[in-house]
Amino acid sequence: MINRLAIPLLLCAVFCAPAFAALPPLSPEELEASADAIIVGKVDSAEVEIAGSLQHSIYQVKLSVTVGAVEKGAEIIKPSQELTIHCWRLRKAQNGWAGPSGQNNVPAEGSDFRAWIRKNEAGNWEALEPNGISLTGASGDYPFHQVEKGRMKALRYFIIAGAILITGIFLYASRGRRS
């Protein structure tokens, strides 16, 4: 009796569970329709933070940009205006993850780009996912490996400082026992 129920329940669990998949690229028509604005600009600076857990984390990026041209949304954005565009990229995924992974392209500082953007619920500009940013010219992708190097350097300093502190406490405590 249990075996007869186990197989249908297992099949239902597998095929009825919500499926998460990476977002397919939006077509040019979908990008145009979904964007509040389409801009061409240059990245002045980028702030990157890592958010999430040990098993699943993302790079949250704030791009400070100068708008060069406005292709859609000229009533809300003007050329030469400075904007902050929020975007993200998957850093580390838990086993079996097949969900959204952020923007395909995140421009590096000094890069030229075209972006299809919209205002989110918080009132911030965000790039459409996954292909709402297109690098133009000889522009490059953001060097996320530099963020990782900085984190490792900070971790080394933290470990060294901890070792010095523990050594100091040990020496202070042993000095008190000798007296």
Work out the average pLDDT over 109-130.
96
Closest CA to 42 of 87, 89, 81: 81
The pLDDT of residue 149 is 64
**Parallel, antiparallel, or unpaired for β 57-72 and 133-136?**
unpaired
The pLDDT of residue 158 is 66
Distance CA 24, CA 127 (A): 15
The pLDDT of residue 159 is 73
Within the chain, strands assigned E span 37-52, 57-72, 82-92, 112-119, 125-127, 133-136
- Output Rg (C-alpha) for the chain, integer angstroms: 24
> Residue 18 pLDDT more than 50?
no
Distance CA 111, CA 26 (A): 22
CATH code 2.10.270 for 19-142: no
Confidence of residue 11 (pLDDT cuts 50, 70, 90): very low
Distance CA 179, CA 175 (A): 7
Q: Is 0.85 surpassed by the pTM of this model?
A: no
Work out the average pLDDT over 1-12.
47
| Tens digits of residue pLDDT in 33-52 | 999 999 999 999 999 999 98
Per-residue CA distances from 42 to 54, 60, 67 (Å): 33, 19, 7
**Which range is most confident: 56-60, 82-86, 163-167?**
82-86
Closest CA to 142 of 35, 59, 72: 59
**Angle (nearest 5°) at CA 84 between 103 and 115:** 45
The pLDDT of residue 111 is 95
Task: Dig out the tokens for 167 from the structure.
Answer: 């050594």
Using an 8 Å Cβ cutoff, are 100 and 129 in contact? yes
> Residue 151 pLDDT more than 70?
no
Per-domain residue ranges of the chain: 19-142
DSSP assignment of 138-165 equals T--B--HHHHHHHHHHHHHHHHHHHHHH
